[in-house]
Structure 1
Amino acid sequence: MCSLNSGKPLHEYLRSHAKVSPNKQAVIFYGRTLTYEDLDELSDRFAHYLHSQGIRKGDKVALFLPNCPQYIICHFGIQKIGAIVGPCNPMFKEWELEYEVNDLEAKAIVTLDQLYPVVEKAKPNTTLQLVITTSYIDFLPEKPIPEFPEVLQEKKYYPDATDLSNILRTWSADCPNVGLDIDEDVCLIVYTSGSTGLPKGAMLTYRNALYKSQGVAETRGFHSDDVALSIMPICHIAGMLFMNVSFYTGGTIVLLNRFTPEAAMDVIERHRVTVAQTVVPMNVAIINHPHAAQVDFSSLRVNSCTSFGIQLTEEISNQWKALTGIGLFESAYGLSETHTGDSLMAPEAIKFGTTGKPIPGTKIKILSLNEPRQELPIGEEGEIVVKSPGVFKGYLNKPEATAKTLRDGWVYTGDIGKFDEDGYLYFLGRIKEMIKCSGYSVFPEDVELLLNKHQAVSESAVIGIPDPIRGEAVKAFVVLHPDYENSITPEELILWSKEKMAAYKYPRHIEFRETLPKTGTGKLLRRVLADEEKAKVKIK
């Protein structure tokens, strides 16, 4: 790994590749190709436009986009002028988007035309000054290959929004030269949560992104000849890191809007994909597909995956190896506050049940839950704490939360783990109350805040319960206002929630209660509710 005093922002690697290999494929999207020269020039054009609109170093620009080339163009264009990318989940509804945009104090947002109605509803209550829209059609060939997974609607224009395709067509690639400090300047704010409170914006630097890209590339042996299947959401830190690795090495990304086994198998064979990052249910869906045996997987050499929904086992890995010629392995341990990837599994040294070893330059300790200053020996379980060049600068505008999590350069993760005698890290669970639904992070207070907006809800408490499909599902305990006690059902409240919250977030189960367990100071005791649910399972 290169010296911590060397290196440059990732967009400068993009510039270098564009000069050395201008015609090399950078992104392939359903048959539409962007070369490195294309990607560099288009992101320069977008950077120039933003600067002309008064966006300056340190300003925040929200990206409310699914996987598409426009996300990548805007991501690097924003960072080229020292502005800060604020990814927003494209599944957000009005209130969720409003919260995140306001917390960011974002001046501008780029959104898909199909998502504009959500932005339109939220905008009057936000700091947004500039709205830019784009359409899938702008970066798709006439006949997408493989079949595009969404119904392609006619492109929509809005009088209060600027069209991205017009910007990329008419503005020059005269990108302003902005002085950047790779170690100090924030380039990305991703939202996460501790054990309490609403989602918090973790401030990540250009160095954080570079360091983790280098770590993955070196641990996995990625290089410029690699063709990477980018199927994870790039608005999330794991998908974003995988994207960054390709542009760091000068490789090619085959970008899919969303997963279907048919599309994944098609592009692996068609584009001779060499490296992939998946979640286990994706691999299982391909293994069980009736046409999988007819697909040529011989180009694949590395497939890291994450145990969301289905736990990776050696049996599943062996089934994948029988089909493709390579095994699967658990990708990593990490969190948003460290740009993820604190420990990585090397393909040549797989140990099932673990998350690999700390990458070079990363220190990980296991501390006692009872004596927080006491480091525990090998084999003992405690809190995972991390220190590395990937550690964030803190939470946006939340000094108290920052001080609790970031102490003397160490991130106190709130996660439980242990090391074995070979130096492999085991992730054993979360101290935090965060819920993982289908790979997405769900924060209890976030759901509670939205639920409490319903006129019938007096108060609520949210926990995660086991779910065979999603890993965990959201269950809400609700106290109704007296006037509504006999006029609304749990099912009606679930349907209301489905309309108001992202699909991964809304409660699948609601139980009405007369009261909720609390401390003497009035703090919700979600753990009591969780223990009650566990007891029900044991009784059954």
Structure 2
Amino acid sequence: MARDGLVIGAVFTGAARAVPDRPAAVLGEDVLTFGELDAAADRMVGALRGVGVRRGDRVVCWNRTTLDVLPVFVALARIGAVHVPLGPALSADEATATARVARPVLLIADDTVPGATVGAAIGVAVVGLGGSAGPTGGAPTPEGATAPDVAEGPGETDPHVIFFTSGSTGRPKGVILSHRTNVLRTHPGSQLEPRGAMVCPYPLFHMGAWTIALQQWQARDTVVLVARADGAEIVAAVRRHRATRLNCVPAVWQRVLDTLAAEGGPGLAGGTLETLRFADTGTSRTPPELLAAIAEAAPNAVLRVFYGSTEAGNVAALDGVDVARKPGSCGVPGPFQEIELGPDGEVWVRGPLLFDGYFDDEAATRAVLRDGRYHTGDLATMDAEGYLSIVGRVGELIRTGGEAVAPGEVEAVLTRTDGVREAAVVGLPDATWGELICAVVVPSDPANPPDLAALRAGCVGRLAAHKHPRRVVYVDELPRTPATGQVLRRRLAERITAAAVEAGPAAVASIADNPPGSR
């Protein structure tokens, strides 16, 4: 099939022709222009074809955040091969399990990971990632390599990338996104307008990183990568490049705010990021207090909260005055997204931005893609104006005394209680109630944490009595996913049930033995 339609490779061809000297990506002192990226990608096509990579093949890339992988990304798109990134923090066993599911023809790895070990375990060739030429040690770049053969390029419905989900149990699930889907998810519109640099704190195995990068590249502008999601590094990158856009998960925004606050010193106001025009967040519940602090730190920016997933893209967004007007909401449906709520409140999404299924896993695909709808597993409410609010997960519903309780709904109330810095809610097994609602609290002052009575009092008038916590456990921090900062509730419940909570004060208060009438 000839290269046709909405394909990712065309993004870089057009940008290199229009703005060859403009930086496409920056990491620290390293800069890669659109012209350099285009030329390196063309050389890379020859190198990859030289080791047998063809259209439809899957290539696993296991590396830290580095500009070296960008020519590989573009070259794979031009060949029509599928880019499969892995996180550098994975152990050899974890990487082996995930890579084996992808059934790749090649593993490209940098010197920070045990690529040879994983390659041997899954029986594929391994090449090193180094220098702007990309793969080394077994994948030489031919002299005078030319542009890719158009006849062998992909069509728009061909798979472009596979992102593996971060589920902690079971077989890893690879989310397939086509060229067309990724073009539509990241397209800036038919008229290019001045955009400015965007700082991306996400690691390069995460869908968010490549979505942000493609948004910038389609607009023919610069993405600024950081080696790690460190507050000081992000602040420095924004200021150095006069970035106009920054997207962080709530936990990373807090690091940014802590860095800015430290600039002020005792009795002085903290620093600000005045060049930002858009300050974005999402992926997990964002307390109103954090949103207010972001708005203060980025006084010239439109504040936006996004809700979405690797499978569905950007599902909904809240911005502007609605951030204050609709606290706790994640906004209205995004472009091309149709949202409805199932009988139990589960969010169902339909539209052209959906994924194509889980790689080589028909059962998992059938479980979530039904009648053209993606069943997200998220539970939500929708108000009379059509604003969506996520209240929990289908699999995380707590069944207590015959009632169903969504953890997110309770967490939203607890985080507004005096003395609570962060809170998560889990269900614990109980012979009388089925499950007990347990509040896991990071106190603002560990020496004086809010007791169970204070937490329950904060729920009065805001939540039905059966949703009030009946146990509280104090911890120093909540376990979260590394990339998105989502709370790992299942892990918390397992730790508490096994009496293995080691961080923070060990005090536990309970009214589990109260009779049902006490609700």
TM exceeds 0.5? Answer: yes
Decide whether aligned partners of structure 1 residues 247 and 169 sit closer, same or farther in structure 2, where only a CA change above 3 A counts.
Answer: farther
- How far is the alpha carbon of 1:317 from its aligned partner? 2.6
Give the match for residue 343 of structure 1: 316
Mapping for residues 308-457 of structure 1, pairs under 5 Å: 308=284, 311-326=285-300, 329=303, 331-338=305-312, 340-347=313-320, 349-350=322-323, 351-369=326-344, 382-432=345-395
Distance in 2, Cα, partners of 1:506 & 1:425: 25
Asked if the contact 1:383–1:416 (Cα under 8 Å) also holds between the matched residues in 2, the reply is yes
1:366-390 Cα shifts (integer Å, max 9, x gaps): 0113xxxxxxxxxxxx011111111
Following the alignment from structure 2 to structure 1, what is the Cα–Cα distance between the partners of residues 252 and 480?
A: 19
Q: Which residue of 1 aligns with 2:30?
A: 32
Is 1:234 the counterpart of 2:204 in the alignment?
yes
Cα distance change on mapping 1:430 and 1:53 into 2, 3 Å: same
Aligned residue in 2 for 1:52: 50
- How many residues are treated as equivalent by the alignment? 412
Deviation at 1:471, TM superposition (A): 4.2
User: Once structures 1 and 2 are overlaid, which stretch shifts more, 64-73 or 228-237?
Assistant: 64-73
Contact 1:223/1:250 (8 A) holds in 2: no
Give 1:16 shift.
0.3
SS at the partner of 1:389?
coil
Aligned to 2:149: 176
Match of 1:122 among 100, 114, 118: 118
Q: Distance in 2 between matches of 1:275 and 1:336?
A: 21
Q: Deviations for 1:315-372, whole angstroms, at most 9, x for unmatched residues?
A: 323323333314674532222222x212123446434312222122111110113xxx
Q: Give distance in 1, aligned partners of 2:302 and 2:66.
A: 26
Overall identity of the aligned pairs, in %: 21
Distance in 1, Cα, partners of 2:83 & 2:489: 23
Shift of 1:7: 5.8
Aligned partner (choices 42, 63, 82) of residue 40 of structure 2: 42
Aligned-residue offset at 1:69:
1.1
CA contact (8 A) 1:391 1:409 kept: no
Query: Quick one: distance in 2 between partners of 1:473 and 1:39?
Result: 35
Q: Which residue of 1 aligns with 2:214?
A: 244
RMSD: 3.5
For residues 433 and 197 of structure 1, do their structure 2 counterparts lie closer, same or farther at Cα, with a shift above 3 Å needed? farther
* CA displacement at 1:279 relative to structure 2: 1.6
Aligned-residue offset at 1:73: 2.2
The question of 1:291 aligning with 2:267 is answered no
2:17 equivalent to 1:19:
yes
Q: Which amino acid aligns with 2:307?
A: Y
Measure the CA separation in 2 of the matches of 1:409 and 1:94: 37
CA distance in 2 between partners of 1:223 and 1:334 (Å):
25
1:134 maps to which of 123, 126, 129: 129
Ranked by relative contact order (alpha carbons within 8 Å, sequence separation 6 or more), the top structure is 1
1: CA distance, partners of 2:227 / 2:177: 25
Q: Is the 8 A contact 1:195 1:431 kept in 2?
A: no
- Flag structure 1 segments of 5+ consecutive residues without an equivalent: 1-5, 140-160, 370-381, 437-463, 475-503, 514-534
State the distance in 2 between where 1:207 and 1:415 align.
26
2:176 aligned with 1:190: no
User: Which of 168, 174, 177 in structure 2 is aligned with 1:204?
Assistant: 177
Partners in 1 of 2:330 and 2:189 — Cα distance? 17
Whole-angstrom CA distance in 1 between matches of 2:290 and 2:189 = 26
User: Equivalents in 1 of 2:73, 2:22: separation in Å?
Assistant: 20
Task: Check whether the contact 1:466–1:472 (CA below 8 A) recurs between aligned residues.
Answer: no
| Letter of the structure 1 residue corresponding to residue 171 of structure 2 | L
Q: Secondary structure at the match of 1:334?
A: strand
Letter of the 2:81 counterpart: A
Aligned positions of 1:457-476 closer than 5 A:
466=440, 468=442, 471-472=478-479
- Measured at CA, do residues 348 and 79 of structure 1 come closer, stay the same or move farther in structure 2, by a change above 3 Å? farther
Match of 2:82 among 38, 60, 84: 84
**Which of 265, 279, 300 pairs up with 1:303?**
279
Unaligned 5+ segments in structure 2 are: 398-406, 409-437, 443-475, 482-487, 499-507, 514-519
SS of the residue 2:311 aligns to: helix
Cα distance in 2 for partners of 1:272, 1:168 equals 36
CA shift in 2, pair 1:404/1:317, >3 Å: closer
* DSSP 3-state at the match of 1:385: strand
The aligned counterpart of 2:100 is 102
Change (3 A) 1:324 1:359: closer
Displacement of 1:422 in angstroms is 2.0
Query: In structure 2, do the counterparts of structure 1 residues 88 and 410 end up closer, same or farther at CA, with 3 Å as the change threshold?
Result: same
- Alpha-carbon deviation of 1:224? 4.5
* 3-state SS of 1:114 partner: coil
Rate the CA distance shift 1:163–1:344 in 2: closer, same or farther, 3 A: farther
Instruction: State the distance in 2 between where 1:414 and 1:247 align.
Output: 32
Residues 171 and 59 of structure 1, relative CA distance in 2, 3 Å threshold: farther
SS in 1 for 2:109: strand
